[in-house]
Amino acid sequence: MADRWRPVWADIDLDAVEHNASVLCAVAGPAALCAVVKADGYGHGALPVARAALAGGASWLAVALVEEGVALREAGIETPILLLSEPPVEAMSEAVARRLVPTLYTRSGVRALGTVVGADGSPPVGVHLKVDTGMHRVGADPADVVPLARMIADDPALRLGAAWTHLAVADGAGPTDREFTALQLERFESALDRLDGAGLRPPITHVANSAGTIGVAAARRDLVRCGIALYGVAPTPALAEELAAATGGQRLEPVLSLRTRVTFVRDLDAGERLSYGRRRPLAERSTVATAPIGYADGVPRRLFDEGGEVLIGGVRRPLAGVVTMDQIVVDCGPVGGAPVEVGDEVVLLGRQGSEEITADEWAELLGTISYEVLCDIGPRVPRLVRGAGAGRADRPS
């Protein structure tokens, strides 16, 4: 902490990552756990999260970008790292050099990868062929799966390592969503049958994200790709309960908490209005506290309008005015209540005493999902890694 002055930080609890990974392994087993650490581990820090997830039983990692995979390799991670989308043609040779496991779904991708794999007798590169079964983001049309698998099989530099797909509404509990998930699984099975018929069945298949892992037994297969649950956020409250029921009461533990300290306090009269726009008058003479975190750090400006609160002294306190770029103002209640002082800890996300504010609470207020809340916490916020795994950050895995 000596290298900075602003009291703002995100605690990253690696024991929680390890616990969440082991719970996911228990629910998914015998399927292996692939820990999804794209987007700098959903804003938590990809490297420490990756190490803690591996310690908790994960045996694969997944990232969105070749760049993200390279960073993990440079830090000494030796585990298989899956690329969740087809790498750009220009990145294929780096992906191969770093032993990243490429996802492919186009003919040009298969050709480009084949070209960059050395003709030096190095073993063929295992390709994960992605099938679009209805998400319609990326993936091969089911009708293209056999021809693409054939191209891969016919290239001595490549081999078919897996076939996989991605569910669009695995977190949906309604009948329409359940039917769509069933349809996606059916389309995937039928693509696998056609691969089988062509003598091209891949050794492994994978389908499930966190929601699929917890809620859709048929999606578990050989490998499950979990992101949000690893960070301690259940895809939905119902799935949190399903997980507990399936694991004898185990719960996911939130990994990240966002904290700051009070830097300024004053008492203001009833009717005073705080911050830009002077949006809301104080109902009575009140103590107000300022803390040095703002929308530039990922605290959404709209949190004030939507009734956002923080914890000070273990008590929920509403924002007193609109969130600014670098600071928030907090209504600490009528003068004469529990004292609030400069230096007191302010919790934006996480636990303090018996109170807790979750990423889901913000997501609910803001009309978004926990994923976006977590990923928006900006690079200006130092991540302080805690837990038994913290020391691992400096050691090769």
Ligand X SMILES: *Cc1c(COP(=O)(O)O)cnc(C)c1O
Q: CB 169 → ligand X: shortest distance, Å?
A: 11
Residue 22 found at the interface with ligand X (CB under 6 A)? no
Near ligand X by CB under 6 A: residue from 166, 220, 259, 261: 166
Distance CA 201, CA 205 (A): 9
Toward ligand X, which CB reaches closer, 19 or 317?
19
Toward ligand X, which CB reaches closer, 241 or 306?
241
Q: CB 306 → ligand X: shortest distance, Å?
A: 24
Residue with tokens 């913000």: 362
Residue 84 found at the interface with ligand X (CB under 6 A)? yes
Near ligand X by CB under 6 A: residue from 8, 36, 234, 359: 36
Residue with tokens 């005073």: 272
Nearest 5°: the CA angle 271, 275, 279 is: 55
Q: CB 36 → ligand X: shortest distance, Å?
A: 4
Question: Which positions from 279 through 338 interact with ligand X, judged by CB under 6 A?
Answer: none
Token reading at 164? 């996989």
Toward ligand X, which CB reaches closer, 228 or 256?
228
Reply yes or no on whether 38 is catalytic.
Answer: yes
Toward ligand X, which CB reaches closer, 326 or 360?
360
Q: CB 33 → ligand X: shortest distance, Å?
A: 11
> Which H or E element spans position 116?
helix 107-116
Rounded to 10 deg, the angle between the 14-28 and 237-246 helix axes is 70
Of 235, 259, 261, nearest to 351 by C-alpha is 259
Q: CB 214 → ligand X: shortest distance, Å?
A: 9
Toward ligand X, which CB reaches closer, 166 or 221?
166
Token reading at 130? 């992605």
Distance CA 325, CA 296 (A): 5
| Residues making up the chain, counted from first to last | 397
Binding-site string for ligand X from residue 346 to residue 375, where x marks contact by CB under 6 A and - marks none: ------------------------------
Q: CB 211 → ligand X: shortest distance, Å?
A: 6
- The conformation of residue 322, written as its DSSP 8-state character, comes to -
Binding-site string for ligand X from residue 190 to residue 209, where x marks contact by CB under 6 A and - marks none: -------------------x
Q: CB 229 → ligand X: shortest distance, Å?
A: 6
Distance CA 86, CA 55 (A): 28
Which amino acid, 316?
Answer: R
Toward ligand X, which CB reaches closer, 227 or 389?
227
- Torsion region of 314: left, alpha or beta (phi above 0 gives left; psi -120 to 50 gives alpha): left
Cis peptide before 30 (omega within 30 of 0): yes
Q: CB 119 → ligand X: shortest distance, Å?
A: 32
Token reading at 234? 């259940």
Which amino acid, 47?
Answer: L
Contacts (Cβ under 8 Å, ≥6 apart) of 217 = none
Contacts (Cβ under 8 Å, ≥6 apart) of 90 = none
Token reading at 29? 């087993």
Binding-site string for ligand X from residue 205 to residue 234, where x marks contact by CB under 6 A and - marks none: ----xxx-------------xxxxx-----
> Taking a C-beta distance cutoff of 8 angstroms, is the pair 148, 107 a contact?
yes
Decide: helix, strand or coil at residue 368: coil
No. of helices (H) and no. of strands (E), the chain:
12, 19
Reply yes or no on whether 231 is catalytic.
Answer: no
Toward ligand X, which CB reaches closer, 167 or 288?
167
Residue at shortest CB range from ligand X = 227
Which is the catalytic residue, given 105, 130, 231, 276?
276
Toward ligand X, which CB reaches closer, 72 or 323?
72
Which is the catalytic residue, given 38, 105, 231, 295?
38
Residue 17 found at the interface with ligand X (CB under 6 A)? no
User: Binding-site residue total for ligand X (CB under 6 A)?
Assistant: 12
Give catalytic residue positions. 38, 276
Interface positions with ligand X (CB under 6 A): 36, 38, 84, 166, 209-211, 225-229
